[in-house]
C-alpha cells in the first residue's frame, strides 16, 4: 500500500492544511473572542508558534523512525501487544473526532441551509464521500485536497472585502485585556488546529527527506496560522464587541451581511465551500482510523475498514441530540488534545532515546 500511496511534499502541504481547517472555521472567531476578547488574534498567532514547536518535536521522532509511521513506531517501542493497544486507542480517538465533526456539520448545515432535510441523509452523503476517496489510497486524497483548495480563494476574498467596513477602534488598544486573556484563548485555538498530528501517520508515504517533510509541515502550519488570524481579525474589526458576543458563527454572518447583484445569498455559496473543508477533514480522520485498524488486523482491506469507521461515526453522530450534546463532547474532547498532540509523541520520543531504539536515517 505504501508503494501505491506515495505523495510529494507539495501534496503534503495541502493535506495538512485541509486536515486542520474544517468544521470549526466558521465559529473560531467567536470561540476565541469569548476568551481573549479583542486580543483573540494574538492567541491564534501564539497557538501557531506552539504548534510549530510540536512539529519540531515530531521531526525528532521522524528522524529516529524515517520509514515507520506512528502505528509502527509504538509496536517497535512497546512490542506487538501493547503497541496494538495504543493503536486501538488512537483509532477510537479518531472515530470520536470524526463523530464530533459530523455532528457539528449537520447542526450548522441544518441551521443555515437545509433545515427540513433529514439528518441521516446529510450524514450519509458525507460518509459516502469519505469512503469513496479513502478506499483508494493517500495519493488520491492528496490530489483531491490540492484541487479543492480553490475554496480558500473565496474565504480570503470575502475577508479582504470585509476590510472595507473595518473599524480599528474595535481592536485597539492591543493587549488591553492582559496576558491571561490571551492564554485563556489558547484552548479553543488549539482545537481549531487539530489535524496536524496526522503528520505522524502519513509521513512515511512522502517521497522526501526528513528535513523536507518538516519544512512542508511548517509551511502548512504557517498558512493555517495566517488564515485563522485573518478570519479572527476581520471578524473583530467588522463586528462591534457586543455584536460579536451574539453571533456564534461570525464568518457566515459576516458574509451574509454583503449584497451583490449576481449573488443574492452569498452565505449559501460560502456554506457550500465550507462543506468541502468539512469533507476533507473527515476524510483524513477516516483514513487515520482505518489505517490503524489495518495495522492491528494485518489486513490490506482499506475499503472495508473505511466503511466500518464511517458507519460507526454515522451511528454516533446521528444520536447527538443538539447543541448541548455537541458542546459537552467538545469540552470533553478538548481535554485530550494536549496528550494526543504533544504528550504521547514526547513519551514515544523519550522512550526511543532511553532504550536506544531507532531505524536508519534517510540520506539528506
Structure confidence at residue 338 (pLDDT)? 80
Nine-digit cell string for 36: 481573549
Q: Examine the pLDDT at 248 and tell me if it is beyond 70.
A: yes
Structure confidence at residue 49 (pLDDT)? 93
Work out the average pLDDT over 224-239.
89
Q: Report which of 148, 178, 199, 155 is spatially closest to residue 29, judged by C-alpha positions.
A: 155
| Cβ-Cβ contacts under 8 Å for 190 (sequence gap 6 or more) | 47, 50, 51, 337, 338, 341
Structure confidence at residue 263 (pLDDT)? 67
What does the pLDDT look like over 42-89, one tens digit per residue? 999 999 999 999 999 999 999 888 888 899 999 999 888 998 999 999
Work out the average pLDDT over 211-226.
93
Name all contacts of 123-128 with Cβ < 8 Å and 24+ positions apart: 123/314, 123/317, 123/318, 124/314, 126/102, 126/278, 126/279, 126/282, 127/102, 127/310, 127/311, 127/313, 127/314, 128/310
Task: Please tell me which residue, 75 or 262, carries the higher pLDDT value.
Answer: 75
Burial zone of 14 (CB within 10 Å; 0-12 exposed, 13-18 middle, 19+ buried): buried
Q: Examine the pLDDT at 178 and tell me if it is beyond 80.
A: no
Strand partners, 7: 206
What does the pLDDT look like over 112-121, one tens digit per residue? 888 888 999 9
Structure confidence at residue 1 (pLDDT)? 43
Q: Report which of 303, 297, 333, 340 is spatially closest to residue 88, judged by C-alpha positions.
A: 297
Structure confidence at residue 364 (pLDDT)? 38
What does the pLDDT look like over 133-160, one tens digit per residue? 988 788 889 999 999 999 898 888 888 8
Structure confidence at residue 5 (pLDDT)? 61
Structure confidence at residue 261 (pLDDT)? 66
Work out the average pLDDT over 255-263.
70
Each domain of the chain, given as residue ranges in start order, spans: 9-354
Nine-digit cell string for 126: 458525507
Terminal-residue alpha carbon distance, the chain: 25
Q: What is the DSSP string of 323-347?
A: HHHHHHHHHHHHHHHHIIIIIHHHH
Give the rounded percent of residues in the chain with a pLDDT score beyond 90.
34
Q: For the domain made up of 9-354, give the CATH fold.
A: Amino acid/polyamine transporter I (1.20.1740)
Nine-digit cell string for 355: 532504550
Q: Report which of 160, 158, 132 is spatially closest to residue 282, judged by C-alpha positions.
A: 132
Cβ atoms of residues 234 and 164 within 8 Å: no
The Cα–Cα gap between 162 and 255 comes to 8
Amino acid at each position: 500500500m505504501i508503494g501505491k500511496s506515495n505523495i510529494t511534499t507539495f501534496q503534503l502541504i495541502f493535506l495538512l492544511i485541509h486536515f486542520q481547517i474544517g468544521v470549526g472555521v466558521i465559529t473560531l472567531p467567536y470561540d476565541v473572542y469569548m476568551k481573549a476578547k479583542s486580543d483573540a488574534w494574538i492567541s491564534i498567532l501564539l497557538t501557531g508558534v506552539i504548534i510549530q514547536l510540536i512539529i519540531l518535536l515530531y521531526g525528532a521522532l521522524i528522524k529516529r523512525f524515517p520509514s515507520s509511521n506512528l502505528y509502527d513506531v509504538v509496536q517497535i517501542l512497546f512490542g506487538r501487544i501493547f503497541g496494538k493497544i495504543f493503536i486501538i486507542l488512537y483509532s477510537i480517538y479518531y472515530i470520536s473526532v470524526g463523530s464530533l465533526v459530523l455532528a457539528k456539520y449537520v447542526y450548522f448545515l441544518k441551521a443555515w441551509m437545509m433545515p427540513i432535510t433529514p439528518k441521516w441523509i446529510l450524514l450519509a452523503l458525507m460518509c459516502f464521500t469519505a469512503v469513496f476517496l479513502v478506499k483508494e489510497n493517500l495519493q488520491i486524497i492528496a490530489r483531491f485536497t490540492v484541487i479543492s483548495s480553490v475554496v480558500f480563494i473565496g474565504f480570503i476574498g470575502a475577508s479582504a472585502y470585509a476590510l472595507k467596513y473595518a473599524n480599528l477602534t474595535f481592536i485597539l488598544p492591543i493587549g488591553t485585556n492582559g496576558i491571561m486573556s490571551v492564554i485563556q484563548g489558547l484552548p479553543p485555538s488549539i482545537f481549531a488546529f487539530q489535524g496536524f498530528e496526522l503528520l505522524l501517520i502519513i509521513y512515511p508515504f512522502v517521497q522526501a527527506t526528513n528535513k523536507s517533510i518538516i519544512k512542508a509541515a511548517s509551511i502548512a502550519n504557517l498558512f493555517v496560522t495566517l488564515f485563522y488570524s485573518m478570519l479572527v481579525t476581520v471578524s473583530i474589526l467588522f463586528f462591534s464587541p457586543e455584536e460579536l458576543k451574539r453571533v456564534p458563527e461570525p464568518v457566515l454572518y459576516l458574509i451574509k451581511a454583503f449584497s451583490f447583484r449576481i449573488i443574492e445569498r452569498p452565505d449559501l455559496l460560502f456554506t457550500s465551500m465550507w462543506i468541502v473543508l468539512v469533507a476533507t477533514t473527515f476524510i483524513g480522520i477516516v483514513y487515520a482510523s482505518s489505517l490503524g485498524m489495518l495495522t492491528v488486523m494485518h489486513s490490506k482491506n482499506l475499503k472495508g475498514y473505511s466503511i466500518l469507521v464511517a458507519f460507526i461515526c454515522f451511528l454516533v453522530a446521528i444520536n447527538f441530540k443538539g447543541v448541548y450534546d455537541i458542546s459537552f463532547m467538545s469540552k470533553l474532547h478538548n481535554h485530550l488534545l494536549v496528550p494526543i498532540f504533544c504528550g504521547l509523541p514526547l513519551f514515544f520520543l523519550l522512550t526511543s532515546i532511553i532504550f536506544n531504539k531507532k531505524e536508519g536515517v534517510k540520506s539528506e
